[in-house]
Structure 1
C-alpha cells in the first residue's frame, strides 16, 4: 500500500498563507487542535456565531484540513493535511435537522470570495435536484474570482449530486483503505478526484472525548480542499484552474489498472498531495480543466480536459436545500487508501493511535438529503477513553509513520 510521508509533504508546503472557507455548520474554534486556525467568519443562520458548532460536522471538516495537534510540541490530538492554512467558518446550518437552502450557502460562497478565500469546501449536496440559479451564480462568482471550489459527490451510491456536478467544481468521491471506491460514493462523468472517506477520525467536540469517526464524501472533500491549499501555498502564482490541473495530473488509479481518465467512479484518480507538490507538471492554460460556469451561472463552457456540463443539468432546478453528506463510521482509521492524511501526533512518543469502536449512523441510513443527521449523539463510552492530553492507545490497523509516496 503506497502512502505518503506526511513530514515530506509538510516540508514542501503546510498551506501557509491560504484561507479555506468551510461552508458548513460552523467551526468550534475552542477545540485544542484548531486553536489559532479559525478566523471570525460569519453566521448565515441568523444566530450570530460562526465559531459555534452544535452539530460537529463543520469542525470535523476544518480539522481534516487544518488541525495542528495540541499539548507539548503539538504531539497530542490530530494533524490535518494543511496545518498552517486558515479556516474561514461560514455557518449555513445551525441544527442537525436544518435545511441548507441554496440562497443561504450561495450567500456564504459570495462572502468567502470577497474575504479572500482561495479554496471553498462544500461538504454537502443534493442528489435529487439541480442547484438553483442563486447557487449556480455563486459558484460562477467563485470560479471567475480564481477560487478552487471543492464539493462531495454524495453518499447514496447514485448520480453525482449538486453543486458537485456543476462545471468547474472539483467533485470528490470516497475510497477506502484498499483504495477501492466506497460503496455509497456517488458516481458519474462529473467525478474529478477521489480521496479517503471511510472510517475517518476527526475533531468533534460534540463527542465526549473531542473526536469522532465517520465515513462519507464530506471527509474526502475536506482532504482535497486541504491538498488544494497545499498547492496554492507552494505555487501562489498558479490560477485556480492550474491548481486543479496539478491535482488531477498527479492523481493515481493505484491498483486499478486499465482505467481511462476521467473514470466515472474514480475521476482522474486518488489525490496524491506529495506528488501534486513535487511532480514536474507544466502550469498549462489558466482556465479550469473541469469547465466553468458563465457569469450568470446559466450556461457553461468546457475546459481543455473538462468533464463539461452534467447530463443532469436539464433536471428541474430546485432550492429545496442540500444536505450534509456524511455516513457514520465503524472503526478507527488514520491512514486510508493510497495516501496517509490524518497523522496522530503521538506517533513518536509511544502511542499507537486510533480508537476502538466508533459511533455514527448505520451505512444504510445516510440521512441524506432529508433526515440530515450527519452525526448522532455518541452512545456512552463511545469514542476515545484516553487520559487527558493523550490520544487513545488502542491498536491502529494502519501504520503510524507512512513511507514516502511512490509515483
Structure 2
C-alpha cells in the first residue's frame, strides 16, 4: 500500500479500501484466525515449530503502532517520532496493520483469540514519519532503526527517489540490516522508491488466486511476491477490531516477517545471506503451460516467498553481501590506481638502464622458454608411452560417471501442507464477511 504524498494511492487504497470484517460483538476469535488465509498459505503452524522471529527486531517506518492493541501488547518497543508531536501511536492505522501482519501474537488464554502475524515472536520498533513530506523524515528514521538494533526494516510505502532516504537505505544495508519495501499499488510498470534502491528487497503482491495481484506495480526491480489481497489486520474503526486490507504494503510486511524468521533460526547469517535464502527458497510463478520465465521476472522477481523452506532447508550461505548487494565503491581500486601512478614515476627514473638491458633480457628469456617447452613435450611423450596399458581417468574422459547434484538427505523435507505446488493453484476459497 502506498503512503507517500499523504498516503497517496497505496495507503489510501489500503485504508479507505479496508473491508468490514464485522461489527457483530459475537464474532468469535476462531473466525478471525481462520480468515487469515496467508497463514494457511504459508503453513505457519509448521514454521512456528522451528522459528517465530524471537529475538529479532523489525523496524516499521510508517504511521506509528498502537502498542495497546491486544494482539501486539508487549511486542512493541520504544520507537521515535519524526512528525513533530504525533508520537509513536498509530493515528492512521496503517502502521498497526503492518505490525500486525509481522508480529501479532493473538490474545486471551493461550493467545488463541485474535490474529497472528507470520513472526509472532518478533519485536516491533515503531518509527512515525511524515511520509511524502517535503523534508522527508524517512532517512533519519531508517538510520535510527539500524543504530538501535533493528535487523529488518519494513518500508510499506512508495514514491519518488529522495537522496537522503537513498543514503539512509545504503547505510542500513552497509550496517547489516535487511531492508524490505513495497513496489506500489498502481497497475503496470512504475519505478517506485524505496523499492527500487540498490540492495532493497522489492516486494510485489500475490492475489488469492495464486497469480500476481492485478493492482501490483512492477518495474522497481521486484525481488519477491507475497500475499497482498484481503488480509486480516487490526483496525479500531470496526467494532470487531479488525478489517481487511490489501496491497503491496501487506506483501512487504510478510517478507519482513519471513526475514525475521530466518534470522532467528540462522543468527550467524549476514543480511545478504538471509536475502539469499529467501530468494533460493522462492517458488517461481508459471504460465498456463507450467513454464517459468527467465528469473528474475520483472513482475514477480524470483517468485513467491516460502518462509518454511527459507527457515528449514539446507541452502549454501552464499557470499556475505548477498545477491542484491549494490556495487561496492572502488576505494580499493582507487588505491590501486594511486600505487600504479607511483610505480610509473619510479620506473621513469630507471628507464635508462632498462632501455640498455631490456633487449638482451628478452632474448635470453625467449631461449629459456623454448628449451622448457621442448623438455615438456619430451616428458609428455614418454609418459604416454609408459601409460598405454593403464586405465584412463573416467572423470576426465567425459564418458565416466558424473557427480550427483545433491546427496540424499541434504535437504529438510517439507511436511504435508507446506506450499510446494505451483503458486498459481488457488488458495482456500475466500471467507465471507462476518454478519
**TM-score above 0.5, yes or no:** yes
CA spacing shift, 1:290–1:236, aligned 2, 3 Å? same
Q: Are 1:136 and 2:173 an aligned pair?
A: no
Equivalent position of 1:289 in the other structure:
323
TM-score (norm 1): 0.69
Equivalent position of 1:245 in the other structure:
276
Q: Are 1:36 and 2:74 an aligned pair?
A: yes
SS of the residue aligned with 1:195? strand
Greater share of residues in helix: 2
Equivalent position of 2:136 in the other structure:
103
Q: Are 1:229 and 2:260 an aligned pair?
A: yes
Checking the alignment, whether the CA contact within 8 Å between 1:124 and 1:151 is kept in structure 2 is yes
Instruction: Give me the whole-angstrom Cα distance separating, in 1, the residues matched to 2:139 and 2:329.
Output: 14
Q: Are 1:263 and 2:297 an aligned pair?
A: yes
CA spacing shift, 1:295–1:120, aligned 2, 3 Å? farther
Q: Are 1:22 and 2:49 an aligned pair?
A: no
Equivalent position of 1:69 in the other structure:
106
Instruction: Give me the whole-angstrom Cα distance separating, in 1, the residues matched to 2:42 and 2:245.
Output: 22
Q: Are 1:161 and 2:192 an aligned pair?
A: yes
Instruction: Give me the whole-angstrom Cα distance separating, in 1, the residues matched to 2:43 and 2:190.
Output: 34
CA spacing shift, 1:59–1:293, aligned 2, 3 Å? farther
Cα deviation for residue 121 of structure 1 reads: 0.1
Checking the alignment, whether the CA contact within 8 Å between 2:51 and 2:264 is kept in structure 1 is yes
Instruction: Give me the whole-angstrom Cα distance separating, in 1, the residues matched to 2:113 and 2:423.
Output: 25
Instruction: Give me the whole-angstrom Cα distance separating, in 2, the residues matched to 1:139 and 1:293.
Output: 14
Instruction: Give me the whole-angstrom Cα distance separating, in 1, the residues matched to 2:144 and 2:220.
Output: 30
Higher relative contact order (CA 8 A, sep 6+): 1
Greater share of residues in strand: 1
TM-score (norm 2): 0.65
Equivalent position of 2:177 in the other structure:
147
Cα deviation for residue 265 of structure 1 reads: 0.8
Cα deviation for residue 260 of structure 1 reads: 1.7
Q: Provide the alpha-carbon RMSD of the alignment.
A: 2.5
Q: Deviations over 1:275-332 (max 9, x none)?
A: 1111211001001311327689xxxxxxxxxxxxxxxxxxxxxxxxxxxxxxxxxxxx
Instruction: Give me the whole-angstrom Cα distance separating, in 2, the residues matched to 1:102 and 1:251.
Output: 37
Instruction: Give me the whole-angstrom Cα distance separating, in 2, the residues matched to 1:206 and 1:92.
Output: 22
Q: Deviations over 1:381-403 (max 9, x none)?
A: xxx56xxxxxxxxxxxxxxxxxx
CA spacing shift, 1:189–1:164, aligned 2, 3 Å? closer
Q: Deviations over 1:32-72 (max 9, x none)?
A: 0001000110110011521x111100000000000001111
Checking the alignment, whether the CA contact within 8 Å between 1:160 and 1:187 is kept in structure 2 is yes
Gaps of 5+ in 1: 297-334, 340-351, 357-383, 386-407
How many pairs does the alignment contain? 300
SS of the residue aligned with 1:281? coil
